[in-house]
Amino acid sequence: MDVVIVESPAKAKTINKYLGKNFEVYASYGHIRDLPSKDGSVDPTDDFAMIWDVDSKSAQRMNVIAKAVKGADRVILATDPDREGEAISWHVLEVLKSKKVLKDVKVDRVTFNAITKSAVSEAMARPREIDAALVDAYLARRALDYLVGFTLSPVLWRKLPGARSAGRVQSVTLRIICDRELEIEKFVRQEYWSLTAFLKTQDRQSFLARLVGADGEKLGRLDIKTEADAKALQAALDAGSYTVTKVEAKPARRNPYPPFTTSTMQQEASRKLGFTPNRTMQLAQRLYEGVEIGGETIGLITYMRTDGVDMAPEAVHGARRVINQQYGDRYVPKQPRQYTTKAKNAQEAHEAIRPTEMARLPKEVARAMEPDMAKLYELIWVRTVASQMESADLERTTVDILADANGRKLELRANGQVVKFDGFLRVYQEGRDDEEDEESSRLPAMSDGDRLIKEKVEATQHSTEPPPRYTEATIIKKMEELGIGRPSTYDATIQTLKAREYVRVDKKRLIPEDKGRLVTAFLESFFARYIGYDFTAELEEKLDRISNHEIDWRQVLRDFWQDFSEAVAGTADLRVAEVLDNLNEVLGAHIFPPREDGGDPRQCQACGNGQLSLKLGKFGAFIGCSNYPECKYTRQLGQADGVEAEGGGPKVLGLDPQSGLEVTVRDGRFGPYIQLGEPDEGEKPSARPCRKVWRRTT
């Protein structure tokens, strides 16, 4: 009898049906060991020795597995085909060794990229040993994350009260979000105008043309700056006669997109289906582990944590066969398409995310699953099919027009696009995060010298827009571009930032909380190298080199720890005043935005002559006056100046029905609180903090 060990009960249930009576399948329920959350779990003085702890539930499960292994002929470790999967297999093996149940028991490692009968059977026929290099890469990553978190977080607690934690990938991702917020705050809007002529050909076919030049000078998008300039040009265009000067039609091709990686699947599911990355991964996990169809449990997609864009030859042939059957042979290119990833530090060790069987059409399996799963499966299916379809053939037309207006020569341009052959566009078009101005309408037939009829001219005011805040999907795209994190960690990183209250989600956009901005400003001031984009990407590259047997994992840790420990030691004598000076400088524009009356934004509005600055209290940062204790003005960080503060007037909510005393809400140093009556001299007030869900209004 052989004992097979996988991560999840769902995966165990599916493959148990494939293997037959000579196999028993058990689930580890993910990782069974972890580094204890205390000092010393990784010891740099002992060549980075690591102490592992098995939690109580995992210990119970491992006892059951160990009992089964005692009477087995073979143990087959069949966890996921990536670094984390290899690590889980290694942990299970180490625990079984410690229980001394492996005598005369053969141990094999197998991996499969899809949970189908054929994929599992093929994997069982090709067992191997645990990949020591992959395990080393896992150990290095886990040690690095521990060393950064458990060394840097206490520094934050001591020097920046209220901060929760720092992390190797977490803090860099937070910096990306904070940097974008700083861009938005520094952005200065510019007014500009555009002019559009509504024109007709002599046979009354309408189209639009935009002003692009005046009197021999090209006009850029921002060149018409004032309403007066726009109105003058509008008047000239209204008086002009219009002639076509040039018609140019060029063929163009649009190639299909590659099949999904983890990142691109999360982005498209966000754009097209409105799913968060977390929701997308939950659904993808269930599609991968198996859905019951016709009395049989079948894995519907390949492994969903991947940065590869390649597909197995049989999958490519299956896609081409479906394209021919569903859309006709002219949609099948002569040669199968091959793709390479553009992502930085991509390993491409696994296939792209694709259906396990291309002939399994979305409409045929939709009834076997919940609607959201069906939607995600269909998205994966059409993306995969489109990736092997013929290109779209387009014709892009540009028409140049001259408006002769009382001696002024005004140049206009109309752009159009015609789809001659839709190709892959018949089934799929990638979504966009932000709208782009793309002229895709068909233009009427025109020739050089044609006279045109003007219907009207519109002048439209615009203003430049700041860069958009990241969504959960676009921050993952940015992380992938920079080489920060891995497919298995993207979503977990975002969830950590939200759980730490470093960022919040508003209208699907990630907004850094003041706490998050303080942490980022602190780390940029004193640990800039370790939240640098290039440094983090280089470290990821070293981890990949470890997994490729190229460098020693402990040497990577030694090199990192030598400089990092010195940087941490350098903050031991760091005074709070020095921290505050740095934070006030870095965050000054955010904390003290310009006042509408043009006055000094740092001037205390309570006493009139004090200067406001960032202060640190037991529970975090707040704004206080330099004249303290004479002036007790304070406000929460992020609260606008002028909102009632401590020392200012309370807001009456009503009377307490039992005591008859007045109930008021006041803003204190650590947030709003409720007070009952007024205390007698020498007594403390009867007060309670407001619940977090309550928001004060003025």
Q: Where are the alpha helices (DSSP H) in 369-467?
A: 371-387
> Do residues 79 and 31 make contact, with C-beta atoms less than 8 angstroms apart?
no
Distance of CA 421 to the CA centre of its chain: 35
**pLDDT at residue 691 greater than cutoff 60:** no
CA torsion sign for 592, 593, 594, 596 is negative
**pLDDT at residue 272 greater than cutoff 50:** yes
Q: What is the pLDDT of residues 195-243, one digit of tens each?
A: 999 999 999 999 999 999 999 999 999 999 999 999 999 999 999 999 9
- Domain 262-387 of CATH type 3.30.930.10: no
pLDDT of residue 406: 80
pLDDT over 90 percentage in the chain: 71
In 392-473 the beta strands, taken as DSSP E runs, fall at 392-405, 408-421, 451-463
Please tell me what DSSP assigns to residue 5.
Answer: E
Query: Residue 198: left (phi > 0), alpha (psi -120 to 50), or beta?
Result: beta
**Strand partners of residue 53:** 34
Q: Which residues contact 432 (CB under 8 A, 6 or more apart)?
A: 271
Query: Phi/psi of residue 475, each to 5°?
Result: -70, -35
Spatial separation of the C-alpha atoms in residues 498 and 262, rounded to whole Å: 21
pLDDT of residue 695: 42
Q: What is the mean pLDDT of residues 69-97?
A: 95
Write out the CATH class of domain 191-255+392-463.
Answer: mainly beta
Residue whose pair of structure tokens reads 């069982």 in the numeric block:
124
pLDDT category of residue 696 using cuts at 50, 70 and 90: very low
**pLDDT at residue 646 greater than cutoff 60:** no
pLDDT of residue 324: 97
pLDDT category of residue 693 using cuts at 50, 70 and 90: very low
Q: Do the domains 191-255+392-463 and 262-387 sit in the same CATH topology, yes or no?
A: no
Hey, what are 530's tokens?
């370790």
> Do residues 632 and 646 make contact, with C-beta atoms less than 8 angstroms apart?
yes
Q: What is the pLDDT of residues 593-630, one digit of tens each?
A: 777 777 888 888 888 889 898 887 766 678 889 998 88
C-alpha triplet 51, 53, 59: angle, nearest 5°: 150
- Average pLDDT taken over every residue of the chain: 89
Tell me how far CA of residue 171 lies from CA of 164, 195, 582, in angstroms: 11, 46, 18
Q: What is the pLDDT of residues 312-346, one digit of tens each?
A: 999 999 999 999 999 999 999 999 999 987 665 55
pLDDT category of residue 645 using cuts at 50, 70 and 90: very low
Hey, what are 508's tokens?
């699907």
CATH code for the structural domain at 139-187+468-576 = 1.10.460.10
Hey, what are 194's tokens?
């555009």
| Catalytic hit among 18, 242, 303, 490 | 303
**pLDDT at residue 692 greater than cutoff 50:** no
Q: What is the pLDDT of residues 650-689, one digit of tens each?
A: 555 666 667 666 677 765 545 567 877 766 545 666 766 6
**Strand partners of residue 663:** 654, 676
**Strand partners of residue 614:** 623
pLDDT of residue 159: 85
Distance of CA 16 to the CA centre of its chain: 36
CATH code for the structural domain at 2-130 = 3.40.50.140
3-state SS record for 477-531: HHHHHHCCCCCCCHHHHHHHHHHCCCEEEECCEEEECHHHHHHHHHHHHHCHHHH
**pLDDT at residue 638 greater than cutoff 90:** no
**CA-based max dimension of the chain:** 100
Confirm whether 303 is a catalytic residue: yes
pLDDT of residue 648: 42
> Do residues 380 and 268 make contact, with C-beta atoms less than 8 angstroms apart?
no
Hey, what are 266's tokens?
């999360």
**Strand partners of residue 274:** none
Q: What is the mean pLDDT of residues 528-545?
A: 93
Where in the chain are the domains?
A: 2-130, 139-187+468-576, 191-255+392-463, 262-387, 596-689
pLDDT category of residue 644 using cuts at 50, 70 and 90: very low
pLDDT over 70 percentage in the chain: 89
pLDDT of residue 354: 97
> Do residues 443 and 238 make contact, with C-beta atoms less than 8 angstroms apart?
no
**Residue 371: Cβ-neighbour burial (10 angstroms; 0-12, 13-18, 19+):** exposed
Inter-helix orientation angle 472-482/170-186, to 10°: 110
Least Cα distance to 438 among 446, 430, 448, 426 occurs for: 430
Q: What is the pLDDT of residues 469-496, one digit of tens each?
A: 999 999 999 999 999 988 888 999 999 9
Spatial separation of the C-alpha atoms in residues 493 and 174, rounded to whole Å: 9
Answer whether the bond into residue 629 is a cis peptide, omega within 30°.
Answer: yes
Specify the length of the chain in residues: 698
Q: What is the pLDDT of residues 148-191, one digit of tens each?
A: 999 999 998 888 877 888 999 999 999 999 999 999 988 989 99
pLDDT of residue 684: 62
**pLDDT at residue 393 greater than cutoff 80:** yes
Give this prediction's pTM.
Answer: 0.82
